[in-house]
Chain A
Amino acid sequence: MVMAGSAPSLQGKPLWLLAELTYRCPLQCPYCSNPVEYTRYKDELDTDQWISVLRQARKLGAAQLGFSGGEPLVRQDLEILIAEARRLGYYTNLITSGVGMDEARVAAFKEAGLDHIQISFQASDEELNNYLGGTDSFAHKYEMARMVKKYDYPMVLNIVIHRQNIDQIEDIIRMTVDLDADYVELASTQYYGWSKLNAELLLPTREQLARAERIAHEYQDRMKGRMKILYVVPDYYETRPKACMNGWGAVFLTIAPDGAALPCHAARQLPGFDFPNVKDHAIDWIWHESPAFSRYRGFDWMQEPCRSCPDKTKDFGGCRCQAFMMTGDATNADPVCDKSSHHAQLVAEVDRMTAQPIEAVRARPLLFRNPKNSRALTPNEKA
Chain B
Amino acid sequence: MTDPLITADTVPRIAPLFRFQWEEAQNCHVLLYPEGMVRLSGSAGEIMRRIDGKTPVAGLVADLSAAFPGADLEQDVYKFLEAAYGHGWLRSVAAG
Residues of chain A having any CB pair with chain B under 8 Å: 1-7, 9-10, 13, 15, 59-61, 63-64, 89, 91, 93, 115-116, 118, 152, 154, 156, 182-183, 225-226
Q: Could you tell me if B37 and A64 are in contact, using CB atoms closer than 8 angstroms?
A: yes
Q: Could you tell me if B34 and A156 are in contact, using CB atoms closer than 8 angstroms?
A: yes
A2 to B27, CA, bound (A): 18
Chain A residues in 8 Å Cβ range of B30: 63
A-B CB pair tally, cutoff 8 Å: 59
A115 to B37, CA, bound (A): 14
Residues 7-54 (chain B) with a chain A CB within 8 angstroms: 16-17, 19, 21, 23, 25-27, 30, 32-39, 41
Give 15 A-B pairs besides A91-B33, A226-B1 with Cβ atoms closer than 8 angstroms. A2-B38, A3-B37, A3-B38, A4-B38, A61-B26, A63-B32, A63-B37, A64-B35, A89-B21, A91-B37, A93-B35, A115-B34, A116-B17, A154-B16, A154-B34
A15 to B38, CA, bound (A): 12
Q: Could you tell me if B39 and A183 are in contact, using CB atoms closer than 8 angstroms?
A: no
Q: Nearest-CB distance from A118 to chain B (Å)?
A: 7
Give the total of B residues in contact with A, Cβ under 8 Å.
19
Chain A residue with minimal CB distance to B2? A225
Chain B residue with minimal CB distance to A4? B38
Q: Could you tell me if B37 and A1 are in contact, using CB atoms closer than 8 angstroms?
A: yes
In this complex, which of B1, B25, B26 has the most chain A Cβ atoms within 10 angstroms of its Cβ? B25
Q: Could you tell me if A2 and B25 are in contact, using CB atoms closer than 8 angstroms?
A: no
In this complex, which of A10, A63, A183 has the most chain B Cβ atoms within 10 angstroms of its Cβ? A63
Q: Could you tell me if A13 and B25 are in contact, using CB atoms closer than 8 angstroms?
A: yes
Q: Could you tell me if A6 and B39 are in contact, using CB atoms closer than 8 angstroms?
A: yes
With A61-B25, A64-B32 already in contact, the answer to whether A91 and B38 are too (CB < 8 A) is no
Pairs of residues from A and B, 3 with the lowest C-beta to C-beta distance, nearest first? A61-B25, A91-B32, A225-B1
A215 to B37, CA, bound (A): 29
Chain A residue with minimal CB distance to B22? A89
Chain B residues in 8 Å Cβ range of A64: 32, 35-37
With A152-B16, A154-B17 already in contact, the answer to whether A63 and B38 are too (CB < 8 A) is no
A225 to B26, CA, bound (A): 30
Q: Nearest-CB distance from A273 to chain B (Å)?
A: 27
Q: Could you tell me if B26 and A182 are in contact, using CB atoms closer than 8 angstroms?
A: no
Q: Could you tell me if B35 and A1 are in contact, using CB atoms closer than 8 angstroms?
A: yes
Chain B residues in 8 Å Cβ range of A91: 19, 32-34, 37
Q: Could you tell me if A4 and B33 are in contact, using CB atoms closer than 8 angstroms?
A: no
Across the interface, B25 reaches (CB within 8 A) one of A1, A60, A116, A154, namely: A60
Chain A residues in 8 Å Cβ range of B39: 3-7, 10
Q: Could you tell me if A15 and B34 are in contact, using CB atoms closer than 8 angstroms?
A: no
With A5-B41, A154-B16 already in contact, the answer to whether A116 and B21 are too (CB < 8 A) is no
Q: Nearest-CB distance from B67 to chain A (Å)?
A: 23
Q: Could you tell me if B34 and A2 are in contact, using CB atoms closer than 8 angstroms?
A: no
A183 to B33, CA, bound (A): 11
